[in-house]
Amino acid sequence: MNAPLKKLASQTAIYGLPTIVGRLLNYFLTPLYTYLFSTSEFGDVTSAYAYVSFLLVFLTYGMETTLFRFSQTEVEKEKVYTTALVSLFVSSIIFILVTSFFAVPISETLKFSGHPEYVIWFAIILGCDALAAIPFARLRLQNKAKRFAVIRSLNIVINIGLNLFFIVFCKSVYDAPESVFKPFVEMVYDPAIGIGYIFISNLFASVITLLLLSPEIITVKWKVDTELWKRMMKYGLPLLIAGLAGMANETLDRVLIPHLLPEAIGKSQNGIYGACYKVAILMTIFIQAFRFAAEPFFFNHYKEADSKKTVALIMKYFVIICSVIFLGTMMNMEWIQYFVGEKFREGLDVVPILLLANLFLGIFINQSIWYKLTGKTSYGAMLTIFGALITITLNIYWIPRYGYMGSAWATLICYASMMVVSYFWGNKHYPVDYDLKRILGYLGISLTLYLISVFIKTESAGINLFLNNFMLLGFIIMLWKLEAKGLVKQ
């Protein structure tokens, strides 16, 4: 494997370590939530984090990618970083103040009536996370992957630790007839808060993370270059539009389900869908880890003579890994299903649909580098707006008729459409010779093996697992035989 590919692989692993650990730990919190809370309560959690995803994109308004771009084109790189940081600091403070002031009407609009404190907590969380985005982006740009990983990991440890402290330890001590810890727990724990402790844990983690990044924040000269800021905003705003549209594609379904279904079932359906969405965790983890490492990697190597060949190789290996993740997850659903509570398992039929949808999203992310490298970010906005229109239209039409299953199919169709259109546009502006024969072949074989596993399913879970993993092993051996020699040569 050539040096750039080795570097990308190692950085994907380092950047991905906290992501993988955090997502896996969150994955193991899913059974905790789905066994302790009702589908309706978990529906509130699902809705809350769907709104957060939208707002975080809005509050960072493309400044991460803008920082990468302008750090390559501007001589005074420190000025670029300072301008981005100050801009986000001002906008985050304004957001926290305004949102906190209107907490009550906002909570009613979002169907969190009686809990305006949720709105205030999330305003602070979002403000901290938005401001932290620029120091994190700078660490990625400077290839300080280890510091990035350490701080991300601490954020995860704090969040998970507090979840376990409040939801497991405090609740069990509070409910116990006698415990030496009861006086302490009664001072810090209120059972009426319930799912609110999930949000409180997030709040503490976000604030502490920002404090850990303070060396990257307080050492800058807090002065904005107005002319530079205008140029950065001009570059970043199309990315904001693309980001909002992209987030609509990712999370709008979990915003709309409670509003488009009858109130009696809306939150419950959202909780089931949100829990089953997490079963596709491995695909999401890999794509996110890859995303963290890939963007600065592509910007740092796009001027090299063989950069397009590298892009094509990365795409092929990316699809290979995603195909294995898809097949590995579906072939082991006999035991993976127990990671969600029994009352949530009725929604597991969405898992293969969402896995494929996220696979197509990953391919689209690979392709999207063409408009970022060429500075044609307006195309990115058009692509994601195109996807968002599909998402909005299909969700509004299908959710009232098919519930969360309609949302899953809408997600798949959206990402598949974006992937196809991006491929043809990219071919015109930044043509890359992808190995389509093998990419499509591997995807087709993995999907075929999954369908075979569905048709030969027996009454015995043990036999199903044996047959399924036998096919999975055969698929992996086939990949190795076809790709090992070429991989070594690279």
**Average confidence (pLDDT) over 233-257:** 85
CA–CA gap between residue 446 and residue 327 (Å, rounded): 6
Q: What is the pLDDT of residues 408-443, one digit of tens each?
A: 999 999 999 999 999 999 888 888 888 899 999 999
Cβ–Cβ < 8 Å for 100, 123:
yes
Instruction: Look up residue 346 and give its two tokens.
Output: 């009725």
Mean pLDDT of 202-220: 91
Question: What is the reported pTM?
Answer: 0.80
Each residue's pLDDT tens digit, 301-323: 666 667 788 888 888 989 999 99
CA angle, 72 then 75 then 77, to 5°: 70
Q: What is the mean pLDDT of residues 335-351?
A: 90
At 272-281, the pLDDT tens digits run: 999 998 888 7
User: What is the model's pLDDT at position 398?
Assistant: 96
Own/partner long-range contacts of 83-86 (Cβ < 8 Å, ≥24 apart) = 83/224, 83/225, 83/228, 83/229, 83/232, 84/134, 84/232, 85/131, 85/134, 85/135, 85/217, 85/220, 86/222, 86/223, 86/224
Task: Label residue 297 by pLDDT band (50, 70, 90).
Answer: confident
> Could you tell me how far CA 169 lies from the centroid of its own chain?
29
Give the HSE-up count for residue 75: Cα atoms under 13 Å, Cβ half-sphere. 0
Q: What is the pLDDT of residue 87?
A: 92
Q: What is the pLDDT of residue 448?
A: 95
| Chain segment 468-486, per-residue pLDDT in tens | 999 999 999 999 988 876 5
CA-closest candidate to residue 383, choices 259, 264, 239: 239
In tens, the pLDDT along 359-391 reads: 999 999 888 877 877 777 778 778 888 999 999
- CB 332 within 8 Å of CB 462: no
- Note whether 407 and 426 are within 8 A (CB): no
Which range, of 80-89, 233-242, 350-359, averages the lowest pLDDT? 233-242
**Pick the residue with more confidence: 111 or 227?**
227
State yes or no: pLDDT of 463 exceeds 80: yes
Assess contact for 395 and 410: CB atoms under 8 A: yes
DSSP state of 102: T
Q: What is the mean pLDDT of the chain?
A: 86
d(CA 142, CA 191): 45
- Closest among 92, 342, 309 to 210, alpha carbons compared: 92
Cβ 143 vs Cβ 12: under 8 Å: no
Alpha-carbon gap, residue 235 to 66, rounded angstroms: 7
Q: Answer whether residue 445 shows pLDDT above 90.
A: yes
Q: What is the pLDDT of residues 112-167, one digit of tens each?
A: 767 899 999 999 999 999 999 999 988 888 878 788 888 988 998 899 999 999 99
Residue scoring higher pLDDT (244 or 373): 244
Instruction: Report how far apart the first and last C-alpha atoms of the chain are (Å, whole number).
Output: 4
Check residue 248 and give its pLDDT.
85
| Helix (H) and strand (E) counts in the chain | 22, 0
Is the separation of the CB atoms in 449 and 471 below 8 Å? Answer: yes
Q: Summarize pLDDT for 102-127 with one digit per residue, the tens.
A: 999 998 888 776 789 999 999 999 99
Q: How confident is the model at residue 488 (pLDDT cuts 50, 70, 90)?
A: very low
Task: Flag whether pLDDT at 291 surpasses 80.
Answer: no
According to the model, what pLDDT value does residue 11 have?
A: 59
Q: List, as one string, the DSSP characters of 125-172.
A: HHHHHHHHHHHHHHHHHTT-HHHHHHHHHHHHHHHHHHHIIIIIIIHH
The tens digit of pLDDT for each residue in 73-89 reads: 777 888 889 999 999 99
Q: Inform me whether the pLDDT recorded for 404 exceeds 90.
A: yes
Sign of CA dihedral 61, 242, 411, 288: negative
